[in-house]
Amino acid sequence: MALEFTDDNIKGIVNSGQPVVIDFWAEWCGPCRMIGPSIEELSKEYEGKVQIGKMNVDDHVDTPSEYGIRNIPTILFIKDGQVVDKQVGAVPKAVLEEKVKALL
């Protein structure tokens, strides 16, 4: 299951040494719900290799502001504590998986 990222736990996760994928989303966002299953599947497939999770922008506002998130869904791909790629909008799982593979 995808991790639940919060304003409180995000810094420790990003600085854990593992690659991180953050899906910024909200309940009311249709495209967010479309990619949700892909995020869940990827989190299972890459468990132990990449920390993949979701952050609800309605519940956590500090982190999205820090990363300059203006649209959702936005997915950040982080390696060594730095954002190395970003995907804005809903895309097929294969697109996300290519970006996850590039982190490894």
Span 27-52, average pLDDT: 97
pLDDT(2) > 90: no
Dihedral pair phi/psi, residue 39, rounded to 5°: -60, -45
Q: Write the pLDDT tens digit of every residue in 43-102.
A: 999 999 999 999 999 999 999 999 999 999 999 999 999 999 999 999 999 999 999 999
* Cα distances (Å, whole numbers) of residue 64 to 6, 28, 75: 10, 17, 11
Catalytic residues: 29, 32
Question: Averaged over 7-14, what is the pLDDT?
Answer: 95
- Token digits of residue 14: 């990003």
The neighbour count for residue 8, using CB atoms within 10 Å, is 10
Per CATH, which fold does 3-103 belong to?
Answer: Glutaredoxin (3.40.30)
3-state secondary structure of 61: coil
